[in-house]
Protein backbone atom coordinates (compact mmCIF):
# COMPACT_ATOMS: atom_id res chain seq x y z
CA UNK A 1 0.00 0.00 0.00
CA UNK A 2 1.39 3.37 -1.03
CA UNK A 3 -1.37 5.76 0.02
CA UNK A 4 -1.46 7.17 3.53
CA UNK A 5 -4.61 7.11 5.63
CA UNK A 6 -5.77 9.15 8.61
CA UNK A 7 -8.95 10.41 10.23
CA UNK A 8 -10.53 13.52 8.77
CA UNK A 9 -9.72 16.22 11.30
CA UNK A 10 -10.74 19.55 9.80
CA UNK A 11 -12.27 21.00 6.62
CA UNK A 12 -9.99 21.38 3.61
CA UNK A 13 -8.45 24.79 3.00
CA UNK A 14 -10.71 26.46 0.47
CA UNK A 15 -11.86 30.01 1.03
CA UNK A 16 -15.24 31.61 0.48
CA UNK A 17 -18.05 29.53 -0.97
CA UNK A 18 -18.38 27.31 -4.04
CA UNK A 19 -18.83 29.44 -7.18
CA UNK A 20 -19.90 26.82 -9.67
CA UNK A 21 -20.29 23.12 -10.27
CA UNK A 22 -19.08 21.79 -13.61
CA UNK A 23 -20.67 18.48 -14.64
CA UNK A 24 -18.35 15.92 -16.23
CA UNK A 25 -19.25 12.96 -18.43
CA UNK A 26 -16.16 10.78 -18.40
CA UNK A 27 -17.30 7.64 -20.21
CA UNK A 28 -20.22 5.27 -20.59
CA UNK A 29 -21.24 1.80 -19.43
CA UNK A 30 -23.98 -0.67 -20.33
CA UNK A 31 -26.21 -1.26 -17.31
CA UNK A 32 -29.28 -3.49 -17.13
CA UNK A 33 -32.37 -1.46 -16.31
CA UNK A 34 -33.02 -3.81 -13.38
CA UNK A 35 -29.76 -2.68 -11.75
CA UNK A 36 -30.67 0.99 -11.86
CA UNK A 37 -34.34 0.54 -11.08
CA UNK A 38 -35.84 -2.00 -8.71
CA UNK A 39 -38.31 -4.06 -10.74
CA UNK A 40 -36.74 -2.99 -14.05
CA UNK A 41 -36.17 -5.23 -17.07
CA UNK A 42 -32.98 -7.35 -16.67
CA UNK A 43 -32.62 -7.81 -20.43
CA UNK A 44 -32.98 -4.14 -21.36
CA UNK A 45 -29.67 -2.26 -21.25
CA UNK A 46 -29.15 1.45 -20.81
CA UNK A 47 -25.93 3.09 -21.97
CA UNK A 48 -25.34 5.12 -18.82
CA UNK A 49 -22.93 8.04 -18.51
CA UNK A 50 -20.05 7.76 -16.05
CA UNK A 51 -20.08 11.11 -14.29
CA UNK A 52 -18.12 13.35 -12.00
CA UNK A 53 -18.03 17.04 -11.12
CA UNK A 54 -15.65 19.90 -10.53
CA UNK A 55 -16.48 22.31 -7.70
CA UNK A 56 -14.83 25.68 -8.24
CA UNK A 57 -13.89 28.12 -5.46
CA UNK A 58 -12.13 31.47 -5.84
CA UNK A 59 -8.83 30.04 -4.63
CA UNK A 60 -8.91 26.44 -5.83
CA UNK A 61 -11.17 23.54 -6.70
CA UNK A 62 -12.30 20.09 -5.67
CA UNK A 63 -13.08 16.99 -7.72
CA UNK A 64 -15.99 14.62 -7.13
CA UNK A 65 -15.32 11.14 -8.56
CA UNK A 66 -13.49 10.65 -11.82
CA UNK A 67 -14.47 7.81 -14.11
CA UNK A 68 -12.22 4.99 -15.28
CA UNK A 69 -8.43 4.79 -15.25
CA UNK A 70 -8.06 5.39 -18.99
CA UNK A 71 -4.46 4.15 -19.08
CA UNK A 72 -5.65 0.78 -17.80
CA UNK A 73 -8.74 0.69 -20.02
CA UNK A 74 -6.48 1.24 -23.05
CA UNK A 75 -4.07 -1.55 -22.05
CA UNK A 76 -5.50 -4.79 -23.51
CA UNK A 77 -4.37 -7.02 -20.63
CA UNK A 78 -5.44 -4.68 -17.86
CA UNK A 79 -8.68 -4.02 -19.67
CA UNK A 80 -9.47 -7.73 -19.86
CA UNK A 81 -8.51 -8.23 -16.22
CA UNK A 82 -10.43 -5.28 -14.80
CA UNK A 83 -13.09 -3.85 -17.07
CA UNK A 84 -14.58 -6.62 -19.23
CA UNK A 85 -17.39 -8.76 -17.84
CA UNK A 86 -20.06 -10.84 -19.55
CA UNK A 87 -22.55 -7.99 -19.45
CA UNK A 88 -20.42 -5.01 -18.46
CA UNK A 89 -17.56 -3.11 -20.00
CA UNK A 90 -15.95 0.31 -19.92
CA UNK A 91 -16.86 2.54 -22.85
CA UNK A 92 -14.66 5.59 -23.29
CA UNK A 93 -14.67 8.27 -25.97
CA UNK A 94 -11.39 9.29 -27.63
CA UNK A 95 -9.14 11.59 -25.62
CA UNK A 96 -9.31 12.15 -21.87
CA UNK A 97 -12.57 13.80 -20.83
CA UNK A 98 -11.35 14.56 -17.30
CA UNK A 99 -8.05 16.18 -18.29
CA UNK A 100 -9.84 18.09 -21.04
CA UNK A 101 -12.64 19.16 -18.68
CA UNK A 102 -10.16 20.54 -16.16
CA UNK A 103 -8.28 22.41 -18.89
CA UNK A 104 -11.49 23.74 -20.45
CA UNK A 105 -12.52 25.12 -17.05
CA UNK A 106 -9.22 27.04 -16.92
CA UNK A 107 -8.09 25.12 -13.82
CA UNK A 108 -4.66 23.84 -12.82
CA UNK A 109 -4.14 20.49 -11.13
CA UNK A 110 -1.80 22.25 -8.69
CA UNK A 111 -4.85 24.15 -7.34
CA UNK A 112 -6.80 20.95 -6.61
CA UNK A 113 -7.55 21.06 -2.87
CA UNK A 114 -9.05 17.58 -2.50
CA UNK A 115 -10.94 14.72 -4.15
CA UNK A 116 -14.25 13.49 -2.80
CA UNK A 117 -14.87 9.89 -3.85
CA UNK A 118 -18.46 8.69 -3.49
CA UNK A 119 -17.49 5.02 -3.37
CA UNK A 120 -14.83 2.68 -4.70
CA UNK A 121 -16.46 1.12 -7.78
CA UNK A 122 -14.03 1.21 -10.71
CA UNK A 123 -16.07 3.76 -12.68
CA UNK A 124 -15.46 6.34 -9.91
CA UNK A 125 -11.83 5.89 -8.86
CA UNK A 126 -9.88 6.28 -12.13
CA UNK A 127 -9.27 10.01 -11.78
CA UNK A 128 -6.79 9.43 -9.03
CA UNK A 129 -4.16 8.64 -11.68
CA UNK A 130 -4.11 12.34 -12.62
CA UNK A 131 -4.01 14.06 -9.24
CA UNK A 132 -0.77 15.45 -7.81
CA UNK A 133 1.07 13.32 -5.23
CA UNK A 134 -0.23 13.70 -1.70
CA UNK A 135 -3.68 14.98 -2.73
CA UNK A 136 -6.22 14.48 0.07
CA UNK A 137 -9.04 12.05 -0.77
CA UNK A 138 -12.22 12.06 1.32
CA UNK A 139 -13.74 8.61 1.78
CA UNK A 140 -16.16 7.21 4.33
CA UNK A 141 -14.50 4.98 6.89
CA UNK A 142 -17.03 2.22 6.17
CA UNK A 143 -16.02 2.32 2.47
CA UNK A 144 -12.33 2.16 3.37
CA UNK A 145 -12.96 -0.87 5.55
CA UNK A 146 -14.75 -2.55 2.65
CA UNK A 147 -11.97 -1.58 0.22
CA UNK A 148 -9.29 -3.09 2.42
CA UNK A 149 -11.22 -6.29 3.19
CA UNK A 150 -9.89 -8.18 0.17
CA UNK A 151 -12.43 -7.14 -2.47
CA UNK A 152 -11.58 -6.90 -6.18
CA UNK A 153 -12.89 -7.94 -9.58
CA UNK A 154 -15.96 -9.73 -8.22
CA UNK A 155 -17.02 -6.50 -6.50
CA UNK A 156 -16.25 -4.38 -9.61
CA UNK A 157 -13.49 -2.62 -7.70
CA UNK A 158 -9.86 -1.93 -8.66
CA UNK A 159 -8.29 -1.49 -5.20
CA UNK A 160 -4.96 -0.31 -6.66
CA UNK A 161 -6.72 2.79 -8.07
CA UNK A 162 -6.55 4.08 -4.48
CA UNK A 163 -4.20 1.87 -2.49
CA UNK A 164 -1.25 1.98 -4.88
CA UNK A 165 -1.26 5.74 -5.45
CA UNK A 166 0.45 8.54 -3.56
CA UNK A 167 -2.74 9.84 -1.93
CA UNK A 168 -3.62 11.18 1.51
CA UNK A 169 -6.85 9.35 2.33
CA UNK A 170 -8.98 11.00 5.04
CA UNK A 171 -11.68 8.90 6.64
CA UNK A 172 -15.13 10.34 7.38
CA UNK A 173 -17.78 9.06 9.75
CA UNK A 174 -21.14 10.01 8.24
CA UNK A 175 -22.24 13.53 7.29
CA UNK A 176 -19.23 15.84 7.25
CA UNK A 177 -18.51 19.42 6.15
CA UNK A 178 -15.51 19.03 3.80
CA UNK A 179 -15.11 22.71 2.91
CA UNK A 180 -17.32 25.81 3.10
CA UNK A 181 -20.59 24.96 1.33
CA UNK A 182 -19.47 21.40 0.54
CA UNK A 183 -20.94 18.63 2.67
CA UNK A 184 -20.60 14.86 2.42
CA UNK A 185 -23.90 13.04 3.01
CA UNK A 186 -24.04 9.48 4.30
CA UNK A 187 -26.00 7.58 1.63
CA UNK A 188 -24.78 4.07 2.31
CA UNK A 189 -26.42 1.05 0.74
CA UNK A 190 -25.21 0.95 -2.87
CA UNK A 191 -21.88 0.14 -1.22
CA UNK A 192 -21.19 -0.07 2.53
CA UNK A 193 -19.84 3.49 2.76
CA UNK A 194 -21.36 5.28 -0.21
CA UNK A 195 -21.62 9.07 0.13
CA UNK A 196 -23.32 11.85 -1.82
CA UNK A 197 -22.33 15.52 -1.78
CA UNK A 198 -24.26 18.73 -1.23
CA UNK A 199 -22.80 21.88 -2.78
CA UNK A 200 -24.34 25.15 -1.61
CA UNK A 201 -23.86 27.73 -4.36
CA UNK A 202 -25.00 31.34 -4.12
CA UNK A 203 -28.75 31.05 -4.67
CA UNK A 204 -29.11 27.30 -5.14
CA UNK A 205 -27.84 23.97 -3.93
CA UNK A 206 -26.78 20.95 -5.96
CA UNK A 207 -26.74 17.46 -4.50
CA UNK A 208 -24.59 14.96 -6.37
CA UNK A 209 -26.41 11.72 -5.63
CA UNK A 210 -23.71 9.60 -7.26
CA UNK A 211 -24.81 5.94 -7.21
CA UNK A 212 -27.39 6.33 -4.46
CA UNK A 213 -29.75 7.38 -7.30
CA UNK A 214 -28.73 6.37 -10.82
CA UNK A 215 -31.77 7.80 -12.61
CA UNK A 216 -34.11 10.74 -12.18
CA UNK A 217 -36.91 8.16 -11.96
CA UNK A 218 -35.37 6.82 -8.75
CA UNK A 219 -35.85 10.25 -7.19
CA UNK A 220 -39.20 11.25 -8.66
CA UNK A 221 -40.94 7.91 -8.22
CA UNK A 222 -39.00 7.01 -5.07
CA UNK A 223 -37.91 3.67 -6.52
CA UNK A 224 -34.47 2.58 -5.30
CA UNK A 225 -31.83 1.16 -7.60
CA UNK A 226 -32.14 -2.59 -8.02
CA UNK A 227 -28.76 -3.68 -6.76
CA UNK A 228 -26.47 -3.36 -3.76
CA UNK A 229 -22.83 -4.40 -3.50
CA UNK A 230 -23.49 -6.34 -0.32
CA UNK A 231 -26.66 -8.46 -0.20
CA UNK A 232 -28.81 -7.36 2.72
CA UNK A 233 -28.04 -3.64 2.30
CA UNK A 234 -31.24 -3.03 0.31
CA UNK A 235 -33.00 -1.35 3.25
CA UNK A 236 -30.11 1.06 3.73
CA UNK A 237 -30.09 1.84 0.02
CA UNK A 238 -33.84 2.52 0.16
CA UNK A 239 -33.39 4.83 3.16
CA UNK A 240 -30.64 6.73 1.35
CA UNK A 241 -32.83 7.10 -1.73
CA UNK A 242 -35.64 8.49 0.46
CA UNK A 243 -33.20 10.99 1.92
CA UNK A 244 -32.25 12.21 -1.55
CA UNK A 245 -35.86 12.25 -2.76
CA UNK A 246 -36.75 14.44 0.24
CA UNK A 247 -33.97 16.85 -0.78
CA UNK A 248 -35.38 16.97 -4.32
CA UNK A 249 -38.58 18.35 -2.86
CA UNK A 250 -36.74 21.16 -1.03
CA UNK A 251 -36.93 24.62 -2.56
CA UNK A 252 -33.69 25.66 -4.26
CA UNK A 253 -32.18 22.16 -4.17
CA UNK A 254 -31.39 20.13 -7.31
CA UNK A 255 -30.43 16.49 -6.95
CA UNK A 256 -28.36 15.17 -9.84
CA UNK A 257 -28.73 11.41 -10.40
CA UNK A 258 -25.36 9.78 -11.01
CA UNK A 259 -25.95 7.74 -14.17
CA UNK A 260 -29.05 9.02 -15.99
CA UNK A 261 -28.51 9.10 -19.79
CA UNK A 262 -31.38 11.59 -20.18
CA UNK A 263 -30.55 13.95 -17.31
CA UNK A 264 -30.01 17.49 -18.64
CA UNK A 265 -26.72 18.19 -16.87
CA UNK A 266 -25.09 15.11 -18.42
CA UNK A 267 -26.42 15.87 -21.92
CA UNK A 268 -24.73 19.24 -22.49
List of residues contacting Zn ion (CB under 5 A):
121, 211
| Residue number with CB closer to Zn ion (143 or 211) | 211
Choose between 179 and 213: whose C-beta lies nearer to Zn ion: 213
By C-beta, is 48 or 211 nearer to Zn ion?
211
Nearer to Zn ion, 60 or 224 (CB): 224
CA distance 175 to 207: 13
**Please, what is the minimum distance in Å from the beta carbon of residue 229 to Zn ion?**
7
Shortest Cβ distance from residue 210 to Zn ion (Å)?
Answer: 8
In the complex, least distance from residue 138 CB atom to Zn ion, rounded to whole angstroms: 17
Q: What is the dihedral of CA 245, 248, 249, 251, to 10 degrees?
A: 160
Q: How far is the CB of 214 from Zn ion (least distance, A)?
A: 9
Instruction: Report in angstroms how near the CB of residue 211 gets to Zn ion at its nearest.
Output: 4
Q: CB 252 → Zn ion: shortest distance, Å? A: 28
Residue placing its CB nearer to Zn ion in the complex, 243 or 259: 259
Closer of 123 and 265 to Zn ion (Cβ) = 123
CA dist 179 and 66 (Å) reads 19
Instruction: Provide, rounded to whole angstroms, the least separation between the CB of residue 130 and Zn ion.
Output: 20
* C-alpha triplet 203, 208, 212: angle, nearest 5°: 145
**Which residue lies nearest Zn ion, judged by its C-beta?**
121
Closer residue to Zn ion in complex, CB, 201/238: 238
Amino acid sequence: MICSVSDFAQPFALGGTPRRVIPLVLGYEPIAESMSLRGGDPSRFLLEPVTGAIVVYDDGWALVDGGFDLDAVRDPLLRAARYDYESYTAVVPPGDALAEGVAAAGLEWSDLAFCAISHVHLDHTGALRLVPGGTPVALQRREWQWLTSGIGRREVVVPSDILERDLDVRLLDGDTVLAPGFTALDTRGHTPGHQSFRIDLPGRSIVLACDAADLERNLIERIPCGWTAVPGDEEQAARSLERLADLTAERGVEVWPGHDPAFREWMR
